[in-house]
Structure 1
Amino acid sequence: MSTLRTAPSLGPLLARGALLSPFKRPGPGAAFDGEPLVLSGLRIDVDRLARYERVCGFTPGGDGLPLTYPHVLGFPSAMALMSGRAFPLPLLGLVHTSIGITRHRALPTTGTYELTVYVDHLAPHRRGTQASVVTELRETGESAAVWESTSTYLARHRTTTATTGAPQEPDPLPAPLPVLDEWRLGGDVGRRYGAVSGDRNPIHLHPLTARLFGFPRAVAHGMWTVARCLAAHGTPPAVLAHADFRAPVLLPGTVVYAADGDRFELRRPGDDGRIHVSGRVEALR
């Protein structure tokens, strides 16, 4: 494992990943054995946290970290791994397809933490190759993680072999959930979330930069959409949450939030009802 003194800077990592992407040609046998990255002595910037809470709809000044906030803390380390020369998948075009989060207890904002990020494995997918990236958060001095997540990222490319047993699309959804709210999203949502998360991917910032990558308008960050849904749904201190990112949310735009019991979804209003995000929240026993 490699120990970091400070969190990596996202800007240079995104630039490095973009420059190296054209030289990466992933195939069905792609593999990666990079060392985990560990950042110790991590303390929470409460001003940044408050801005994040406001952007995502969490109640500011709560006693603990929002469920999704450790992902923001670990994202620079994940980018350090995935933008490197040894990582076989191109960063440009890599799609965040799902995230699963487990929180074993509330995380105090005054705590000191150790953050570990690693690529667990690569797997063939019927549309290309999928990477599973694990983030673990520990309170200083403890061996067991108090928070952990697994994000899946898909690199699309031609597949030449059968992918029996490989990860496929999310399960089809049952009947639509009842609508609880309608959200009108401004064109600046991507810029506001990018400012607090550090993720300033051009597709999220402005229509002109989004069009360079094939989008008609800017696209909301997937992790903003799931954070906004979880803020509306609510989460117990010990919880398991999972979300599948099914379709991009264009900005500006209008979406509806729907939920019933432990399930939630974000979808397009009206009869079309295209689902952008679907997920569930389960209390840990």
Structure 2
Amino acid sequence: MSQNTEYRNQPPGLLPLYGRALLPRKKQRGDSAALPDLSAQLIGVATGGSDLNRYRRVCGFERHRAVPATWPHVLAFPLHLRVLTDSRVPFPLLGLVHVRNWIIQHRPIGEGENLDLDVSLGEAGQVSKGLEFELLTRARSAGRLVWEEISTILFLRPQSGNGKAPKEPLQLETYANTCDVQVPKSTGRQYAAVSGDRNPIHLYTLTARMFGFPRAIAHGMWSKARVLSLLEQQSDWQDGGFTIHCDFRKPLFMPASAMLNWQASAGGLDYQLLNSKGNIPHLSGYVQWHA
């Protein structure tokens, strides 16, 4: 049975949702990839305000009449939590890994424009490391679809066997254009304050070590937004509708010096965010202009 939760003008509070994230989950049966039919809607959310300005500063966006293409992801984040912390979802929120992300901007969204947001669970399937599933987000303005997002999320399962699978060597292509990206130690906390995403692995060294990381790592969606903010400043950037895809690859530990590497491609751009030596990819993807 489909279960939809609707909110009007005000998103669900984050604190109760984080409390729900700590509750025990029902164990998933066997290798079943079946997920509950869940969705959540927020009717009437304004895209402007002080939070948008803070977001621009944290991610490096210049101010335009349109909001950054990654901003609706932040507006929808409480709905993401509402769906993922539902008691019928059979895995815990903490420990889920965001592995891929697509954003499709059908047209620029004006600052202050009102949106209706919808979040739902999509397809799921078994992979070698566990279960991957899609979290789907859509934004409508005056009833028309203006923005979409597909987040692919991995629920890790313990690997069988005694040994680890051999790692394939990284295949990195060097693109023509490069610029430096500085990631201060406080980036995770600044992004958490404006996005609401307070996963402990992004905040402090101490909290990240609790989950097996030597230092705090940057949010994947901050990294994607920072890349987009830099690409938008290039002379060959095109305004209008576009799709931006990325694969989240290796953690970006903070503080860090990284480099954005990109090149023009047929109908868009290819890009990768690398470490300062250029031999480890933190994320990679492409931008495709819409005709």
TM-score (norm 2): 0.87
Match of 2:270 in 1: 263
Query: Could you tell me which amino acid in structure 1 is paired with residue 23 of structure 2?
Result: L
**SS in structure 2 of the partner of residue 279 of structure 1:** strand
Task: For 1:4 and 1:191, locate their aligned partners in 2 and report how far apart those are by CA, in whole Å.
Answer: 28
Structure 1 residues 7, 87: CA separation in 2 closer, same or farther (over 3 Å shift)?
A: same
Which of 185, 188, 194 is the aligned partner of 2:186? 188
Structure 1 residues 179, 11: CA separation in 2 closer, same or farther (over 3 Å shift)?
A: farther
Which of 93, 100, 103 is the aligned partner of 1:101? 103
User: In the alignment, is the contact (CA less than 8 A) between 1:254 and 1:268 conserved in 2?
Assistant: yes
Task: For 1:218 and 1:24, locate their aligned partners in 2 and report how far apart those are by CA, in whole Å.
Answer: 29
Query: Could you tell me which amino acid in structure 1 is paired with residue 276 of structure 2?
Result: P
Match of 1:55 in 2: 58
What is the CA distance between 1:174 and its match in structure 2? Answer: 5.3
**SS in structure 2 of the partner of residue 20 of structure 1:** coil
Match of 1:198 in 2: 196
Query: Could you tell me which amino acid in structure 2 is paired with residue 138 of structure 1?
Result: R
User: In the alignment, is the contact (CA less than 8 A) between 1:242 and 1:279 conserved in 2?
Assistant: yes
Query: Could you tell me which amino acid in structure 2 is paired with residue 284 of structure 1?
Result: H
Match of 1:279 in 2: 285
Structure 1 residues 173, 14: CA separation in 2 closer, same or farther (over 3 Å shift)?
A: farther
Match of 1:151 in 2: 151
Match of 2:242 in 1: 239
Match of 1:19 in 2: 23
Task: For 2:48 and 2:13, locate their aligned partners in 1 and report how far apart those are by CA, in whole Å.
Answer: 16
**Runs of 4+ with deviation above 6 angstroms:** none
Query: Could you tell me which amino acid in structure 2 is paired with residue 263 of structure 1?
Result: D
Q: Does 1:139 align with 2:141?
A: yes
Query: Could you tell me which amino acid in structure 1 is paired with residue 229 of structure 2?
Result: A
User: In the alignment, is the contact (CA less than 8 A) between 1:26 and 1:89 conserved in 2?
Assistant: no
Task: For 2:282 and 2:114, locate their aligned partners in 1 and report how far apart those are by CA, in whole Å.
Answer: 35
Gaps (5+ residues) in structure 1?
161-171
User: In the alignment, is the contact (CA less than 8 A) between 1:113 and 1:138 conserved in 2?
Assistant: yes
Gaps (5+ residues) in structure 2?
161-169
User: In the alignment, is the contact (CA less than 8 A) between 1:27 and 1:129 conserved in 2?
Assistant: no
Query: Could you tell me which amino acid in structure 2 is paired with residue 200 of structure 1?
Result: R
Query: Could you tell me which amino acid in structure 1 is paired with residue 263 of structure 2?
Result: D
Match of 2:223 in 1: 225
Task: For 1:213 and 1:232, locate their aligned partners in 2 and report how far apart those are by CA, in whole Å.
Answer: 31
User: In the alignment, is the contact (CA less than 8 A) between 1:31 and 1:122 conserved in 2?
Assistant: yes
* CA RMSD, Structure 1 to Structure 2 (Å): 1.9
Match of 2:163 in 1: none
What is the CA distance between 1:145 and its match in structure 2? Answer: 1.2
Match of 1:169 in 2: none
Query: Could you tell me which amino acid in structure 2 is paired with residue 265 of structure 1?
Result: Q
Task: For 2:11 and 2:24, locate their aligned partners in 1 and report how far apart those are by CA, in whole Å.
Answer: 21
| 1:15-94 pair list within 5 angstroms | 15-21=19-25, 24-25=27-28, 27-60=30-63, 62-94=64-96
Which of 7, 12, 26 is the aligned partner of 2:11? 7
User: In the alignment, is the contact (CA less than 8 A) between 2:177 and 2:263 conserved in 1?
Assistant: no
User: In the alignment, is the contact (CA less than 8 A) between 1:190 and 1:219 conserved in 2?
Assistant: yes
Task: For 1:204 and 1:174, locate their aligned partners in 2 and report how far apart those are by CA, in whole Å.
Answer: 26
Q: Deviations over 1:156-184 (max 9, x none)?
A: 11478xxxxxxxxxxx7551224521122
What is the CA distance between 1:27 and its match in structure 2? Answer: 4.1
What is the CA distance between 1:265 and its match in structure 2? Answer: 0.7
